Chains A and B, each alone.
Chain A
Amino acid sequence: MNRKLSLLALPYAVWLFLLVVIPILIMAVYAFTTSDSAATLENFTDMGIYASVFVRSFRLAAIATLICLLIGYPAAYFMAGEGSGFQRVALALIMLPMWMNFLLRTYSWMSILENNGLLNQLFQKIGLFSLLKIEAFQMLRTPGAVTLGMVYNYLPFMILPIYSVILKLDRQLLEAARDLGANSAQVFLRVILPLSLPGVLSGVTMVFVPSVSTFAISRLLGGGTQMMLGDLIEQQFLGGAYNPHLGAAISMVMMVIVVLCMALMNHFGEGEEQAVML
C-alpha cells in the first residue's frame, strides 16, 4: 500500500516493545536474581520440590482439554448443521455466560458439589446412598471438581473456533466427496475433520493455557488440596510466601513448557492460518 501508512506501525512497535517485550525481560531478570539482586540459579534448582505441582497442573489441564474437545467438537459440528435461527440463538447462548463473572459461576458449583449440596441431596432422594451404604459423595475439593471447573469455564472457547471453521467449510467439497463415492463416515474423517483442524488447534490452545495456569478455580473447587502452578505463582506475589524471584522463575518455566507444547502441536497444523475466535 502506501508508504505513509506503514508509519502507523511504528507506535505500535514501540508499544509492543514497552509492554510485551520489556516486562518479560524484567521477569527473566527477577528469575535469575535474589532479593539482594545477586545473580543466581537457585530459583530454578530449588524447583524440584514442586515437581508434583507441575505434574498435577499439566495432567488436569490435559484431561480438561480432552473432555472439552470430546464435548465441544460434536456440539460445534451439530450446531453448524442446524438452521440459521437456531445457530444464532445457540451462538449467543454460548457467549452469554461470559457476562456473568467466572468466579461467581465457579462459586455456584461449590453449592452444587458440597457434601450437602444439590447433587448429593438428589442422590439421597433417589435412595442411592442407602443402597451403597455411604453418607455422601465427596465431590468438592477433589481433582475431579477442579477438572470440572476448567471444563465448565473454558468449554465455550473450544466450541467457538471449531464452529466457525466448520461453518466456513465449502459445502461443495462435501458434495464432491459424496459424488466420488465416499460414505458419510468417510466424508467426515477424510474431509471435514482435516479441514477443521485449525479450529481444533486454536480451541485446544484456548482451553489448555488458561487451565494449566489457573489459581482461582483450584482455590475454590480444590479447596486448597489441589495446588496448581497458578496457586504456586500467586502465593509468591500476593499470597502467604512473598518471593517474587521464585514466582518469576516458576512463571518462566511454565511459559517455556507451554510455548513448546503449542509449537509442537501447531507443527501438525503447519501452514494453516490461525483460526479467528469468532
Chain B
Amino acid sequence: MRQSRRAGSRILIGLVFLFLYAPIALLIIFSFNEGDSSAVWRGFSLHWYQSMFRNRLIIESVYITLLVSLLATLISTLAGTFAAIGLYSLPRRRRDALLTVNNIPMMNADIVTGVSLCLFFVAFFQFWGGFARWFNGVQTAVVLPERLTLGFGTLLLAHVAFNIPYVILNVAPKLRQMDRNLMDAAQDLGCTWMQAFWKVMLPEIKPGIVSGALIAFTMSIDDFVISYFTAGSSTSTLAMTIYGMTKRRVTPEINAVSTILFLTVLVLLVIVNMGEIRQERRKRNPSAHSVPVGERLRRFFATRAGQYARWGLVAAGSVAFVVTVLFLTRETQSIPVVNVCSWGEYIDLDLIDRFEAETGIRVNYQTAESNETMYSLLKNGGADYDVIVPSDYMIAQLIEEGMLSELNYDNIPNFQLIDPRFKNLSYDPENKYTVPYTWSTLGIIYNAAMIDEPVTSWGALYDERNAGKVLLINNSRDAIGEALMYLGYSINTTDEAEIRAAYAVLDKASKQGVFQGKVMDEVFQTMEGGNAAIASYYAGDYLSMLENNEDLRYVIPEEGANWFVDAMCILKDAPHMAEAEAWINFIASTEANLANMDYLRYGSPNMEALEQYPAYYEELYGEPLDPEIYDIIVTPPEVLEHCQMYENTPPETRALYNRLWIQLGI
C-alpha cells in the first residue's frame, strides 16, 4: 500500500514535469531545424547557432536583458537590504504602514505597475521639459537636455522598483529571527558600528540577502510586461524582441539563444547541487529533508562549492560594473547615430552593416508592430526616432497633425530614381515629406488543398461553408476595408451607413463561426502549417509563406483590392537630421532596393531596381525568376488599376472604426 502510494505520487510529479517541459523540449529541438518554421521539420542543422551572432537585434537585446537584470539585482539587493534593516528599527506601527506600501507592487498586476510607471515617467518628462527650458533661459553656464524619453534609464528604475520588495521580503524574516541585542553587545565589546554590521549582522541575514538577490534576478530576466511599458522604443529586452517576433514567426535564432541560456542555467544548477550533495554526504545528515531552504543556502555558502559561488557573485558584480562602464562610454561616444523605426523583418539586415561601414554612422534599428502602435509610441513620448516608415494613410494623419518634417531632397539625390508612379500620391500630394520604401497589395491567400474551387471574391472570407477555416486580419482598417470592397463601396467612405453595413457582414460571419481567429503576423505559421484555409494578407508575405507550403495561392479578388505604399519620413525636430537624410538616400539607392526586394518580396518603388530584378535574381540563384512570381512582387499596372489606396479619414470615421472594431472583439 505504501509502495503504491509512493508510485502514485511519483507519477503525478512526473506528469507535472512532462507538462512543464514538453514545450521546452520542442523549442530546443526546433533550434536545430534546417528550415525556419517551428512546425515543419526539415532536417538537422546548426546554422541558427551561427547566424544568431550576426543578428544584431537579438544580440543587443540579450545584452540589454543581462545588463538591466544584473544592475537591477545589484542595486535592489543593496537598497533592499538597507531598507529592511531600517524598517526593522522603526516602531511597529510605522513599519507596518511602510510594509503595506512595499507590498503594493507585488499585489498589483504587472500591467498596472507598468502602466502607472509609464504614465509617471511621461508626466515627469513633461515637467522636466518645462523646468529645463526655464533653467536654460535664465543661465548659460549649464545646458540641461530639454527632451527626455523612455529608455534604458526608465527600464532600470522600473526593474529596481519591482525587485526591492522581493529582497525586503526575503531579508525581513532573517532580521526578525536575529537577536536584537547582538548588535548592541558587539558595540559594547568595542566594535565600531561598521564592524558590528559586517561581523555580526551580515552573517545572520546573508541567506536572506542571497535568496532575495536570486529571486530579483530571476524576476528581472523573466519580466516582460513592466519592461514593455517602461522601456520605450529605443531599448528592447529579449522578452520584448521575442514578443515582436511571436506575431510573425519566431526566428529559430531565438530558440538557439534561449537554448544556450537555458543550458547555462541547467549546468550551473547541476554544479551547485552536486557540490551540495557531496557536502551533505560528508556530513551524513539524515534529517536533511526537513531543512528549510534558507538554512540550506547558508550551509551551502560555507562549503567549498559555496566559496566558488560566493566568488561567482563577486565576479558577476564586477562584470556588471565593467559592462555598465562600457555601456555608458559607448552611449556617450560622439559617433554619429540615426534612430530608425520600421516593421518587424522588414529590411535585409546586411544593409545596416553596409551603411555603417560606408558612412561611419551607427544605426539604431527599432521595430513597431503596426502603424497604430507606432503612433501610440510617438504620442506618449516613448519614442526617440529620426526616421520612420509608416503606411500611406498614417502618413497623411501624421502630416495633418504636424508631426513630420519637410525633406530637403537636395540631400537625397536617389529620390530621382523613384518611379513617378509612386510620387505625389494622395497621402503626400506635393511630395514634400516622403520617400517611398516599398509597395504591395492586400489580397486573399488560400490553401488549394483545403478548398475545392478557386477563390475569386472577398465573399469567401465570410462564406458559412468555410466555417472555422478563415483567418480575419487583425486591424480595423483592413478588416472593415475588405468588407467594404466586398459590398462594392469605396474603402475610404465616410458614410456611416456603408461602414455599418460592412460591419454587419463581419458580425454575421463572426456569429456563424466562420472566423477561426484574428491574426496579423501569426498568419505565417498558421497558413504554412495548413491550419486554416483562407486568410487575407500582403502579397510580399504570401511569397515567404509559399516557400514553406506549395499549396498556397494568392489572388486579387474580382472586386479589387487595396494597394499600399510604405514610405520613409523624418520626424519633426529629429535630433540627427543629416544622418537621417544619409540613411534615406542609401535605402533609396538601386542596390539597396534590389537587396530589399529579394529579401522582403515586396515591390520596390525604384525604377532601376524594378527593371533589373529578374536579372539580379538569375545571377544570385542561377535560375530564371518565375514570371508569375514577378507579377506578385510587382503587381502589373492593369491589375493595380482595380486597386484602391487608403486615404486619411476624418476623426469621426476613425472613432467609428475603433468602436465597431472593439464591438466585434467582445
Write the residues of chain A forming the contact surface with B, with a CB cutoff of 8 angstroms.
1-13, 15-16, 19-24, 26-27, 30, 49-50, 52-53, 71, 74-75, 78-79, 81-85, 87-112, 114-118, 138, 140-141, 152, 155-156, 159, 164, 167-168, 171, 205, 209-210, 212-213, 215-216, 220, 222-225, 227, 230, 233-235, 237-242, 244, 247-248, 251, 254-255, 258-259, 262, 274, 276-278
Contact = CB atoms under 8 A, between A and B. Distances in A.
Given A8-B86, A255-B112, A258-B109, 19 more contacts: A6-B90, A71-B16, A75-B13, A82-B13, A96-B265, A99-B218, A102-B224, A104-B255, A107-B38, A111-B529, A116-B39, A213-B111, A215-B111, A222-B517, A224-B518, A242-B376, A242-B380, A255-B109, A278-B170
Contact of B289 (A12, A52, A84, A238): A84
Nearest to A111: B39
A5 B89 contact: yes
Given A71-B16, A75-B12, A237-B380, A9 B98 contact: yes
Nearest to A168: B292
Contact of A10 (B86, B379, B522): B86
Interface string B34-57: 000011000000000000000000
A82 B266 CA distance: 22
A117 B468 contact: no
B191 to A, nearest CB: 13
The binding surface of chain A is classed by DSSP as: helix
Given A1-B180, A210-B110, A278-B211, A20 B101 contact: yes
Given A6-B86, A19-B161, A111-B38, A74 B222 contact: no
23 contacts: A5-B86, A8-B89, A20-B161, A23-B117, A52-B666, A78-B9, A82-B289, A84-B289, A98-B218, A99-B218, A101-B222, A103-B246, A107-B250, A110-B525, A114-B525, A114-B529, A212-B109, A240-B370, A241-B662, A242-B379, A255-B112, A277-B166, A277-B169
A220 to B, nearest CB: 6
A233 B79 contact: no
Interface string B163-183: 010100110010000001001
A185 to B, nearest CB: 13
B468 A138 contact: yes
B115 A12 contact: no
A102 B476 CA distance: 29
Contact of A112 (B26, B289, B291): B26
Contacts of A27: 112, 115-116, 119
Given A114-B526, A224-B474, A251-B112, A237 B101 contact: no
Contact of B258 (A85, A100, A106, A233): A100
A19 to B, nearest CB: 5
Given A10-B86, A98-B218, A224 B276 contact: no
A124 to B, nearest CB: 13
Contacts of B266: 96
B373 interface: yes
A67 to B, nearest CB: 11
A164 B289 contact: no
B239 interface: yes
The 6 closest A-B pairs by CB, nearest first: A8-B86, A223-B517, A9-B86, A224-B518, A213-B109, A78-B9
Given A78-B9, A101-B239, A239-B372, A117 B531 contact: yes
Q: Tell me which of B173, B288, B663 has the highest count of chain A C-beta atoms within 10 A of its own C-beta.
A: B288
Nearest to B658: A241
A239 B376 contact: yes
Contacts of B164: 12, 15
Contact of A85 (B39, B82, B215, B277): B277
Interface in B488-529: 515-519, 522, 525-526, 529
Q: Tell me which of A79, A107, A159 has the highest count of chain B C-beta atoms within 10 A of its own C-beta.
A: A107
B529 A116 contact: yes
A209 to B, nearest CB: 5
B317 interface: no
Contacts of B70: none
A202 to B, nearest CB: 10
Interface stretch (B17-25, B453-461, B623-631, B634-642): B17-25
A6 B180 CA distance: 14
A224 B510 CA distance: 12
A26 B116 contact: yes
Given A89-B273, A104-B258, A248 B98 contact: no
A225 B229 contact: no
B61 to A, nearest CB: 11
A101 B468 contact: no
Nearest to A242: B376
Contacts of B515: 225
A200 B665 CA distance: 35
A230 B111 contact: yes
A251 B24 contact: no
A44 to B, nearest CB: 16
Contacts of A209: 107-109
Given A94-B20, A108-B26, A111-B38, A237 B118 contact: yes
Contacts of B372: 239-242
B222 A2 contact: no
Nearest to B28: A100
B143 interface: no
Given A84-B288, A237-B229, A1 B16 contact: no
B518 A84 contact: no
Given A79-B13, A81-B9, A223-B517, A278 B98 contact: no
